[in-house]
Structure 1
């Protein structure tokens, strides 16, 4: 299924509904979402217990340096690591240079893909004995934590997905690929719903190395797209790495912008 909207129109809808509407996703338990003048912020109620993120969907006004300095001061006082999420069309045009001058460090860019949910629903042939399904228990989520630790290291798989589901089970669905409910999770991904908008978004998508290139990731994409369509969502959003992007572009999603995180680690700074 192909959207009647062009790339720029899709991006404008995403910007209006998600970024200007403050609907990236529902804040997890213990996370504050507020604004400081034109800057949108997320940070934990208790410093140091979760991620911090800021962005500026409306630009930074007449004094962008002052706006950035206010965030540096705020998160340095809390001794936290903060990510400033930038999009390639953000204002001011020299935002990234201003961030680097303030001590932020660029990380790897990702591509923002947008498109119709229906185009992601494809027939996928999985290896014999392998199935895809939505999770139904805390035990499933614990198995996903083990997958994340195996692939990404001990700092991942911290139980945050389970806490998010318990706090607002209607805000997301989680999908696994497995051979059995007693064995390891082979691949996993989740789907967040931005209520009151036309957009759902896909996150995760981790697969054990020995099970890659066997259709498992595509199976999670199709399953999540079906769930989103059942919930009445029209568009899908993903921030993609070079590994997953080709698969999703072949399914009809379109690259409309890039997004690059700029991080400032103030955990060791004096208050």
Structure 2
């Protein structure tokens, strides 16, 4: 078993770089001092940096303000991704002072792919099947199910998943669990080229189908796919709902992550 410090070091060395180099078509990265901002990514801009930015005080305020002003000029929202072990420790409060708003914190979990691939993969309830999907019809079914889970309109998700599959060079795998003729859960695997990692993302399950072993089955299914591609580690940014489940499956918590988001102000209607 790899120790937590080694897992965190691999995460910092590999995944922080990948999130600004493994970009979708049309997106590009720009460096500003210690940080890198990603422009042209889906739905909003993105900012990240090394574990230690090496600036604080007024210099940090100026760095934050430049990112806010850059995306303000584009009329776009931007996410600054922080981690719990980042320095300087004052970064979150400086972001808030600059108008950024914290979203839900999550726990960064890492697991050994080989161990997770050996998990029991069959759901506990009969009549549930798990499979990989690529067809547009299935992606629309996913969007409909996800809208129901989260209580908002996520019809855009079908096009986004289609785009990820089309541009992902085979590195994106979308999985569903089906029962009674409908999609009841979904998740995806994204292999990070040039690293030892793949990410587990997009997990959603209808309320009536939770607690039936589906989440575990989707993790195991994706772990087997990742193992077949030589991936050493699986990484998840986990909510508090999924963190304890994943830790029971063998994942290790290495840090936390909190996105801070700035959105351009909405202009008042002129009447």
Same fold at TM > 0.5: yes
- Any idea what SS the aligned residue of 2:173 has? strand
- What corresponds to 1:161 in structure 2? 161
Rounded Cα–Cα distance in structure 1 between residues aligned with 2:214 and 2:84: 31
Alpha-carbon separation, structure 1, partners of 2:34 and 2:215: 38
Q: Distance in 2 between matches of 1:25 and 1:146?
A: 31
| Residues 34/147 of structure 1: CA separation in 2 closer, same or farther (3 Å cut) | farther
Question: How much has 1:34 moved relative to structure 2?
Answer: 2.6
Match of 2:74 in 1: 78
> What are the residue-to-residue correspondences of 1:92-241 with 2, within 5 Å?
92-121=88-117, 122-126=119-123, 127-158=125-156, 159-179=159-179, 183-241=181-239
Instruction: Give me the whole-angstrom Cα distance separating, in 1, the residues matched to 2:224 and 2:76.
Output: 38
Deviation at 1:24, TM superposition (A): 6.4
Pair 1:142–1:24, CA change in 2 (3 A): farther
Moved over 6 A (4+): none
- Paired residue secondary structure (1:128): coil
The answer for the alignment partner of 1:7 in structure 2 is 4
Uncovered stretches (5+) of structure 1, i.e. residues with no partner: none
Structure-2 separation of matches of 1:154 and 1:130? 26
Per mean C-alpha deviation after superposition, the further-off stretch among 120-129 and 163-172 is: 120-129
The alignment covers a number of residue pairs equal to 261
State yes or no: 1:40 paired with 2:33.
no
1:106-165 deviations in Å (ceiling 9; x for gaps): 121100001201222311442222110111322211211111111124442412111111
Q: What is the CA–CA distance in structure 2 between the aligned matches of 1:248 and 1:24, rounded to whole Å? A: 26
**How much has 1:215 moved relative to structure 2?**
0.8
Q: Deviations over 1:6-31 (max 9, x none)?
A: 10111001101111x33467322333
Q: Give the whole-Å Cα distance in 2 for the aligned partners of 1:11 and 1:129.
A: 39
Residues 1:69 and 2:71 aligned together: no
Contact 2:145-2:206 at 8 Å conserved across structures: yes
Q: 1:244 deviation in Å?
A: 0.9
Q: TM-score, with normalisation over the residues of structure 2?
A: 0.90
- C-alpha distance in structure 2 between counterparts of 1:128 and 1:169, whole Å: 34
Higher helix share: 2
Residues 103 and 132 (structure 1), Cα distance of their counterparts in 2 relative to 1, 3 Å cut? same
Take 1:81 and 1:263, find their aligned partners in 2: how far apart are those partners?
A: 7
**Superposition RMSD on alpha carbons, in Å?**
2.0
Instruction: Please give the secondary structure, in 2, of the residue aligned with 1:197.
Output: coil
Deviation at 1:33, TM superposition (A): 2.8
Which ranges of structure 2 fall in alignment gaps of 5 or more residues?
Answer: none
2:264 equivalent to 1:266? yes
Say if 1:199 and 1:236, in contact at 8 Å, map to a contact too: yes
Asked whether the 8 Å contact 1:24–1:194 carries over to 2, the reply is no
CA distance change for structure 1 residues 57 and 28 in 2, over 3 Å: closer, same or farther? same
